[in-house]
Amino acid sequence: MDSTSTLDRKQLIILLISILIVALCGIAYELIIGTISSYLLGNSVYQFSLTIGLFMFAMGIGSYLSKFFMKNLVTSFIIVEIVISLIGGLSSILLFMAFPLITAMYSLIMYSLILIIGTLVGFEIPILTRILSRKDSLRQSIANVLSLDYTGALIGSVLFPLVLLPQLGLVRSSFAIGLINASTAVVNTIFFKSHLKYPKTITAISVFFLGLLIILTALGTHLTKFAENHLYFDQIIYKKQTHYQKIVYTQSLITGEHRLFIDGHIQFCDRDEYRYHEALVHPVMSLPGSRENILVLGGGDGMAIREILKYPQVKRIHLVDIDPEITRFCSTFPEITRINKGSLKDPKVSIFNEDAFTYANRPGTLYDRIIIDLPDPHNEALNKLYSREYYKILKMRMNTGSYMVTQSSSPFYTRKSFWCIEKTMQNASLSTYSYKVTVPTFGIWGFHIGSVSGKIPDTFDIQVPTQFLNTTTMKFAGIFENDIARLNVPVNSIMEPKLYILYLQELTGSNIN
């Protein structure tokens, strides 16, 4: 029986709320899948564009298929809600478990989830519209459905970054959204019992999946840990999803080595991090000129500051890192403070938790040295911090005779990206000097020094105590063999983000345009 023309006021309200929830959950699943793929594969623009495009296409398929269902509309809607609650609820953990497999398998699962969830969401909206049109006019029904659909999408898109992701994380968020879908199915079985074809069976199935998702949500922390352990070889001893990134700190059960990961990308291993940080800091700090005022962009782990503090001439260090959690963690967590020697607590250090672009792009202190210790440009937000525009902004914050240095990824694994950074600095009217060292965790790693006052000396007199770097090492660091020699590459800018496209092409072997 499906005589929805006899809807009462309560049933009408339930249907209208259901429309809101359908849209909210649909956009949330879309954001979860896009975020996981960006987190695991990089290139957030590509991942979100693909997710949104496929999702909208699948909704179109679902809308088309809905026209073949003429009877039992409420029953169809509830069944679809149950199926979405299960598939959408499990989407996060399925993707995390699939990632260590071959890339093709992960992509197949990701595309399948997008298409299935999108088709089911697209199926629901026309069904609900047709149910409502039997009570109200078609014009009024369409207006109500679309207004609530757009409102639900807005709520879901705001709720995800502000509440779900930071409070629940990705796995528990998908369970929680699935729980909302299952709850909607149960509520509709209660209010539309007389309209259902198999009321007892559908009610039992709805309650079963509601109970299952309650259990999964309650076990979300344990399941998240299981999924993360599936991603990392080492034991996770700290993890935190912040508003900006996922922080994971691990310890090897075999060697005891500690590693810091941000959004799945390794930041350092305590066994050899000194090689990277000495190479980043000491060449630029050893150059002639004042060393009183230092700006560090990124470097929230405090390792670069540890090296800077070896210079007694330094009076002031400004550290700019967007995420307050990373600087809090690295200034208080014993295993980190042991490595950075408590550098973030030094009275010479002032921490600014804000965007590095915004910080530089306003009047303020002029610096003698700028040390850029940012993650590789694996997304468009980081790309702007390696752009021509940004280097021009940084020049305005430099004293005459001062220098900057930036980590520049690997001239071996990401050769085009490495030389793209150099060419971009030169295009911003900076003189450059390029060099590389070997860091076992990373392989061959490269850096570029930039000067606002002409040619940079090619000799570096390292006077402070180091574990690895010395004057002799730097004599060879500026030599680039044939397979890592300079290439003809484009200039990177905010308007034309060439760098992160090159970086992703080199990292994945793909041809992203």
Whether residue 233 is predicted with pLDDT greater than 80 in this model: the reply is: no
Q: Averaged over 117-138, what is the pLDDT?
A: 84
Exactly one of 149, 373, 376, 458 is catalytic; name it: 373
Q: Which of 47-56, 161-170, 365-374, 407-416 has the lowest mean pLDDT?
A: 161-170
Whether residue 509 is predicted with pLDDT greater than 80 in this model: the reply is: no
Whether residue 443 is predicted with pLDDT greater than 90 in this model: the reply is: yes
Instruction: Report pLDDT for 12.
Output: 85
Whether residue 136 is predicted with pLDDT greater than 80 in this model: the reply is: no
The pLDDT > 90 percentage for the chain reads 64
Instruction: Report pLDDT for 42.
Output: 67
Instruction: Report pLDDT for 505.
Output: 86
**Residue 475 Rama label (left phi>0; alpha psi -120 to 50; beta):** alpha
Whether residue 403 is predicted with pLDDT greater than 60 in this model: the reply is: yes
The pLDDT > 70 percentage for the chain reads 95
Instruction: Report pLDDT for 510.
Output: 58
β pairing state of 235-241 and 246-251 = antiparallel
Q: Cβ(326)–Cβ(247) under 8 Å?
A: yes
The residues of the chain that CATH labels 1.20.1250.20 are 4-229
268-508: CATH superfamily: Vaccinia Virus protein VP39 (3.40.50.150)
Beta-carbon contacts of residue 200 (< 8 Å; ≥ 6 apart) = none
The residues of the chain that CATH labels 3.40.50.150 are 268-508
Q: Cβ(85)–Cβ(213) under 8 Å?
A: yes
Beta-carbon contacts of residue 215 (< 8 Å; ≥ 6 apart) = none
In degrees, rounded to 5, the angle at the alpha carbon of residue 187 between the alpha carbons of residues 185 and 140 is 85
Whether residue 367 is predicted with pLDDT greater than 90 in this model: the reply is: yes
CATH class for domain 4-229? mainly alpha
* Neighbour tally for 130: CB within 10 Å: 19
Whether residue 3 is predicted with pLDDT greater than 60 in this model: the reply is: no
Residue 504 or 359, more confident:
359
Q: Averaged over 212-217, what is the pLDDT?
A: 90
Confidence of residue 139 (pLDDT cuts 50, 70, 90): confident
* Neighbour tally for 123: CB within 10 Å: 24
Q: Which of 58-62, 118-122, 205-209, 242-246 has the lowest mean pLDDT?
A: 242-246
Q: Averaged over 199-221, what is the pLDDT?
A: 89
pTM over 0.85: no
User: In the predicted model, what is the mean pLDDT of the chain?
Assistant: 90
Confidence of residue 103 (pLDDT cuts 50, 70, 90): low
Instruction: Report pLDDT for 1.
Output: 46
Beta-carbon contacts of residue 54 (< 8 Å; ≥ 6 apart) = 111, 114, 115, 118
Active site residue 483: no
Q: Averaged over 322-330, what is the pLDDT?
A: 95
In terms of Cα–Cα distance, which of 5, 103, 24 is closest to 510? 103
Q: Which two tokens stand for residue 130?
A: 């047709």
Which of 94-108, 150-164, 178-192, 406-420 is the most confident on average?
406-420
